[in-house]
Structure 1
Amino acid sequence: MIPVHFGKKIIKLDIPDENLCFNLKRNNFQAPESEEDEIRRALEVPVGSKRLKEIVQKGSSVVIMVDDRTRKTPQKLILPFVLEELNSAGVDDSQIKLVIATGTHRDMTKEEILERFGEDIVNRVEIQNHNCHSNLVNKGLTRRGTRILVNKNVLDADIRIAVGASLPHHPTGWSGGAKMLLPGVAGTETVNAMHLLGATEAQLGKVLTPMREEMEDFAKEVGLHFIVNVILNEKNKLVKAVSGHFIHAHREIIKWGLTINGVKFRKKADITLSSSFPFDYDLTQADKGMFSAERATKPGGEIILLSPCEEGIAPTHEEEMCRLARHDDSTLWKMLDDDVIGDRFAASECMYLNYVKRNYKMTLTMNQPMLANMMGFYYLAVDDLQKYISKRIELDRNLKIGIVNNSGEILPVWEIEEETSSLQLEDII
């Protein structure tokens, strides 16, 4: 019996050995003996940048942008060392703000903030959720013509720091780096325009993507002075930390990410079961597991996304996504041109989903079958999954079934493509 996560619940599946194509899990990397020492080392030896305490001046106002509950970055472990660097440079806690880079996600609650950052941090510095609708400053245009709308409190600070994790990410390629600024603390219009740049093709695992370039242009214009990015292992223990320049340090952490999160497989599956736990609050988080599974599934095969999606499609985008889901890309682009779509982010999300629906049979096991159907997916109750697998094998004894665990965190690497992927990263860096 093979255990697989469906949200926090573990289900057990019976798949004969001859039908099991792969069972991908995050590579087993040991955390360093001291996670604290790894963070100290990263801060003492930044990549492409002076040390943080040499960048700030006494009395500087500082904003630290941090990721929200949809990520697993161990903020309460990292932030004390960042604050220590700032304090040693003469910056008092009262001059430091933490801005939660929610992008267009919902606000974190007081309880979630306390859980994520810990009582010590909550009591030391001011913490606020970003608001993508108000308190914004227009900083001009990117070279693609996108208006640069950014959080005023972030822009007003003398120093801007981003603390987060790096993971394979669709449609950005990889998370981390300048992503904390855009979409993290940008206005809705800017966020929506950026997401439409990722609507054209699969971007997972690529280093330079249209969205990454837009983020880094945005960061150059606004000013991002320092980042701290980490990678976690399968037990959510910190494996590697990198600090420094938002481009050079980001590329360095991706090198580690390819080793830690890149998981090899030999043969593509007819059916891939994709468990997106723990990134599965809603479909716009869980769907990362579709694009991970897509890399390991035969064209025309089936991807079954295992996620309860407890908060539905997306707390802040659900109504518009359900309205737009029935349209193909050309119709959506025309609707955008005609300015009849109120939530342009929803349009980009529907285009991402159209990509997988065009190329695969897409099945959802989420707890709300009506929403799955409204979004144009097949629905399968998780309690019926074993029966479905057994029936498919009965109809085709040669059927190959693959499993991708933690599919929002790993990058399946087809062995025949491995050398090409490595060369692409080396060329870019």
Structure 2
Amino acid sequence: MTTTQARPGTIGGPEQVLTDDEITRFVREQLDARDLDGRSVLLLIPDGTRSCPLPLLLSAVHRALAGRATRLTALVALGTHAPMSEAHLATMLGYPEGRIQDQYPGMTVLNHEWWDPDTFVSLGTIPSSRIAELSEGRLDTGVDVRLNRAVVEHDVAIVVGPVFPHEVVGFSGGNKYFFPGVAGPAIIDLSHWLGALITSSEIIGTRGITPVRALINEAAAMIPSQKLALCVVAQSGTGALHAASFGDTESAWGAAADIAAQTHVKYLDTPVTRVLSIIPEKYEDIWTGAKGFYKLEPVVADGGEVILYAPHITTISEMHPEIYEIGYHCRDYFVKQWDTFKDVHWGVLAHSTHLRGAGTWDAEHGEHDRVRVTLATGIPEHVVVKANLGYRDPASIDVAAFEADGETFVVPNAGEVLYRLR
């Protein structure tokens, strides 16, 4: 079922912080106005790497749909992140461990089991000619659009989650919860590699319909279920909300992204030579903690350094072991040696380029990266060096000394706010 786009309902703004009552009332009003009686509803929700008051939002949605929806399911849009344990789900969603029915009676919560081929159903294909058009000539391969079958097995799919600047698509949220959130590997690889070809520093924080967003929207248009979204703009570091928008997945996302562009992008007047990016514990590996680099790369001077400080992180990625084999390299390292790397998952290649940042490679001179990336984590030095990154003992990091040295830009709670030069 498709719907005609209309102006989304929006509450709040960049200078506001909403109260719980305002949010709950807004959710109730928006859902009361929708024809959801007697229909099955799937809620697509973020995993623990995204900040937002999810217990408040999910409780408000649950109360508004209780007695109306014939079936209510929440699906964690993992993309290719690690699955969430029951303990993590209980903490994230605000219910006693093992007792979800106490907080959300009648609702089922599922991880997106992206590692299991039986998870998916095919919606059809996007032909190579259309991919070439959407990618502005960067790619010309067709793709099988596979999606978690739970989406098509419900009448209505409602995205519930935050919008942030994003290294692949420009701004996260909206239809991104379907692709790559609960999508099959082929379109995940394609969308991420398209973003990598554009480069993270170029696309991150770009408003409007980027080529990757256009691809995502094209795939989402193939979904037979009705698609709605509750897109929110979180106050970074607190979990409170600046704003919320409800409507179809494109217009609600657009309204929230316009606000996030004002709250989650900060500007510096001059480049910095060194950044100490302090990675919060919600990022449990470098695969997710790398956001502390993506959001800072644009303000680092040529030859500068970003130190990712995360003593709690002890692994690069358990879910993507290929990254240990290829290491971290700039885009051109892969593009100009494509025959060597074309069979590696393109999403892994994309992640590699995103963390290594801008650079060049040619057969004569090798690789030259614009900035240095140093890990001060619990990952052993030999693993870090093999991955083509710099190593620093996390015990040697004195945050107060860095703050006082006059040369280091120290960023606490890194990973959500994007920094750019004016």
- How far apart are residue 77 of structure 1 and its match? 0.6
Give the alignment partner of residue 105 of structure 1, picking from 81, 84, 109: 81
Aligned to 1:427: none
| Structure 1 residue aligned with 2:49 | 70
Q: TM-score, normalised by structure 1?
A: 0.79
Aligned AA (1:37): E
The whole-number CA distance in structure 2 between the counterparts of 1:356 and 1:363 is 15
Equivalent position of 1:187 in the other structure? 184
| Alpha-carbon offset, residue 188 of structure 1 | 1.7
Which secondary structure state, in structure 2, belongs to the residue aligned with residue 162 of structure 1?
strand
Shift of 1:331: 5.6
Distance in 1, matches of 2:306 and 2:375, equals 9
Other structure's SS at 1:163 match: strand
Secondary structure at the residue paired with 1:81? helix
In the TM superposition, what is the alpha-carbon distance from 1:224 to its structure 2 partner? 5.3
Q: What is the CA distance between 1:99 and its match in structure 2?
A: 1.0
Conserved? CA contact 1:280–1:308, under 8 Å = no
Note if 1:308 corresponds to 2:292. no
Instruction: Tell me by how many angstroms 1:183 deviates.
Output: 0.9
Counterpart contact for 2:120–2:146, Cα < 8 Å: yes
The equivalent of 2:136 in structure 1 is none
Offset at 1:56?
3.4
1: CA distance, partners of 2:328 / 2:352: 9
Name the residue aligned to 1:22. none
2:308 is aligned with 1:296: no
* Paired amino acid for 2:84: M
Letter in 1 for 2:343: I
Aligned-pair CA distance for 1:370: 2.5
Q: Give the one of 404, 410, 421 matched to 2:417.
A: 410
Distance 2:328 2:206 in 1: 29
Q: Matched residues in 1 for 2:177 and 2:107: separation?
A: 19
Alignment of 1:187-226 (within 5 A): 187-200=184-197, 201=199, 202=201, 203-207=203-207, 208-222=209-223, 223=225, 225-226=227-228
Pairs within 5 Å for 1:80-95:
80-87=59-66, 90-92=68-70, 95=71
What secondary structure sits across from 2:296 in the alignment? helix
- Conservation of the 8 A alpha-carbon contact between 1:224 and 1:246: no
Residue 31 (1) aligns with residue 17 (2): yes
User: How far does the alpha carbon of each residue in 1:146-188 deviate from its partner, in whole angstroms, 9 at most, with x for none?
Assistant: 2110011111211111101111221222111111111111112
Q: Does the CA-based 8 Å contact 2:155-2:226 persist in structure 1?
A: no
Tell me the SS of whatever aligns to 2:26.
helix
Structure 1: where are the runs of 5+ without partners? 1-27, 45-50, 394-398, 417-429
Distance 1:366 1:252 in 2: 37
Equivalent position of 1:381 in the other structure: 393
Q: What is the match of residue 40 of structure 2?
A: 61
1:161–1:226 CA contact under 8 A, matched in 2: yes
Pair 1:206–1:149, CA change in 2 (3 A): same
Q: Deviation of residue 327 (structure 1)?
A: 6.0
Helix, strand or coil at the partner of 1:242 = strand
Partner of 1:116: 92
Instruction: Supply the distance in 1 between the matched residues of 2:388 and 2:411 (Cα, whole angstroms).
Output: 23
Distance in 2 between the 1:346 and 1:172 partners?
Answer: 16
Partner secondary structure for residue 63 of structure 1? strand
Q: Letter of the 1:252 partner, please give it.
A: A
Q: Matched residues in 2 for 1:308 and 1:173: separation? A: 29
Question: Which of the numbers 354, 362, 365 marks the counterpart of 2:373?
Answer: 362
Contact 1:35 1:238 in 2 (8 A): no
More helix by share: 1
CA gap 1:61/1:331 in 2 versus in 1, 3 angstroms: same
Q: Distance in 1 between matches of 2:329 and 2:415?
A: 26
**How far apart are the structure 2 equivalents of 1:147 and 1:69?**
29
Q: How is 1:132-171 mapped onto 2 (pairs within 5 angstroms)?
A: 132=114, 133-134=116-117, 135-142=119-126, 143-144=130-131, 145-171=142-168
| Residue aligning to 1:47 | none
Q: Which amino acid aligns with 1:372?
A: V
Range that drifts further, 122-131 or 371-380? 122-131
**CA 1:249–1:346 in structure 2 vs 1: closer, same or farther (change >3 Å)?**
same
**Paired residues for 1:228-307 under 5 Å:** 228-233=230-235, 234-307=237-310
Identity across the alignment (%): 24
Q: 1:211 to 1:371 in 2, by over 3 A?
A: farther
What's the offset of the Cα at 1:109?
Answer: 0.9
Conserved 8 A contact 2:230-2:247: yes
Say if 2:47 and 2:78, in contact at 8 Å, map to a contact too: yes
* CA deviation after TM superposition for structure 1 residue 300, in Å: 2.0
**CA distance in 1 between partners of 2:242 and 2:400 (Å):** 38
Question: Retained in 2: the 8 A contact 1:178–1:224?
Answer: no
Residue in structure 2 matched with residue 21 of structure 1 by the alignment: none
User: What CA deviation, in whole Å up to 9, does each residue of 1:42-74 have, x standing for no partner?
Assistant: 553xxxxxx434443432111111111222222
- 2: distance between equivalents of 1:171 and 1:141? 22
2:360 equivalent to 1:341: no
> Deviation digits for residues 323-376 of structure 1, max 9, x if unmatched?
112666456347765786353321221122343462102111111122321221
Q: Does 1:52 align with 2:53?
A: no
CA contact (8 A) 1:290 1:356 kept: no
The CA distance in 1 between the partners of 2:83 and 2:399, in whole Å, is 40
User: Matched residue of 1:285: which SS?
Assistant: helix
Deviation sequence 1:277-308 (CA, Å, 0-9, x none): 24531112111111221122112211112223
